[in-house]
Amino acid sequence: MSIKDYYMRAKRELENLAYYVDSYKKINYGIQFKIFRFKQGYLVRIYNNKKKGIKLDCSQIKNKNVKRDLKEIKNILDQNHKKGSIKNIQESFELPNKIIVDRIVSYLISRQAKRKSINSDSIKHSFRLSNLTFTIYTNNLMMIQGKSNNFNSLKKEILMILSSNNKVKSRLKKPKINNQMSLFDQDLNNKILGEENLKLVG
């Protein structure tokens, strides 16, 4: 978002609150403009800092009500700016078996994810959660797409479910019994049998 875009959005929000917004003038590192309400004018500045980004400055304003309005507008604009900076997410996960698929579905339902209608034979399930679409295909591949600040935390939970598959496998594994007799044991057994035969002959 450019500083001009920020100004235009701030102007729109201020006008919704019955302020008159004057045209802006360029200053060092930003712009400044006046807003008016009840024939009283207030100076507002917007700075563009490379490290901190765009910042709405209302430090010149003493009126508590006007300052409160500007702070609320600043919060709205900052949130919108953060949303706009989130990158598109597209990540796939291989779900090894039906147990894991069911666990993923149960997890999404527990998070109150909304089911989406399915229009393809290749899709088993489709959910919407935190602005992300979770699509589980018939080949047990899950695709996550969208924009969300919660992706990393959701991904962590999903990876925990996937890792539980290894625990299930380890529980199902049984120790193998080695039925093959070692050469040493065979020799020993033959000697014992030979001695027994000699006793019988004697």
Rounded to an integer, the average pLDDT of 130-151 is 87
Structure tokens given for 92: 């796939």
CB 62 within 8 Å of CB 49: no
Residue that finishes a domain, picked among 85, 116, 141: 85
Q: Phi, psi (5° rounding) for residue 180?
A: -80, 130
Task: Note whether residue 197 is domain-resident.
Answer: no
Q: Is the pLDDT of residue 118 over 80?
A: yes
The helix/strand/coil state of 152 is: helix
47 and 114 in a single domain? The answer is: no
Residues 43 and 114 in one domain: no
Report the mean per-residue pLDDT for the chain: 81
**Same domain, yes or no: 125 and 165:** yes
Nearest to 81, CA basis, from 5, 163, 172, 175? 5
Residues 62 and 121 in one domain: no
pLDDT of residue 56: 87
Lowest mean pLDDT among 14-23, 66-75, 101-110, 173-182: 173-182
pLDDT tens sequence across 39-59:
899 999 999 877 778 888 888
Q: Tell me which of 56, 85, 114 is where a domain ends.
A: 85
Task: Specify whether 10 is located in the same domain as 53.
Answer: yes
Same domain, 36 and 106: no
State the CATH number of the domain containing residue 72: 3.30.310.240
DSSP letters spanning 81-113: HHHHHPPPEEEEEE--SHHHHHHHHHHHHHTTP
**Do 37 and 53 lie in a common domain?**
yes
Q: How confident is the model at residue 195 (pLDDT cuts 50, 70, 90)?
A: low
Q: Same domain for 142 and 155?
A: yes
One domain, residues 107 and 134: yes
Question: What pLDDT does 150 receive?
Answer: 73
In the chain, count H helices and then E strands.
Answer: 5, 10
Task: Single out the residue in 66, 85, 104 at which a domain terminates.
Answer: 85
Domain that holds residue 30: 3-85
Q: Which residues partner with 84 through β-bridges?
A: none
Cβ–Cβ < 8 Å for 126, 133: yes
The packing angle between helices 151-172 and 98-110, to 10°, is 140
CATH number at residue 144: 3.30.310.10
Q: What is the pLDDT of residues 73-113, one digit of tens each?
A: 888 887 765 555 556 788 889 999 999 999 999 999 998 89
Give strand ranges (E) for the chain.
20-21, 25-27, 30-37, 40-49, 53-57, 89-94, 114-115, 123-129, 132-137, 141-146
Task: Tell me, yes or no, whether 37 lies in a domain.
Answer: yes
Q: What is residue 90's predicted lDDT score, i.e. its pLDDT?
A: 86
Q: Are 143 and 135 in contact (CB under 8 A)?
A: yes
Joined together, the tokens standing for residue 33 give 């403009």
Q: Which of 139, 138, 158 is nearest to 89 (CA)?
A: 158
Give residue 141's pLDDT band: very low, low, confident or very high (50, 70, 90): very high
**170: pLDDT confidence band, cut at 50, 70 and 90?**
low
Residue 200 placed within a domain: no
In-domain check, residue 184: no
pLDDT at 107: 92
For the chain, the domain total comes to 2
User: Given this model, what pLDDT does residue 177 score?
Assistant: 46
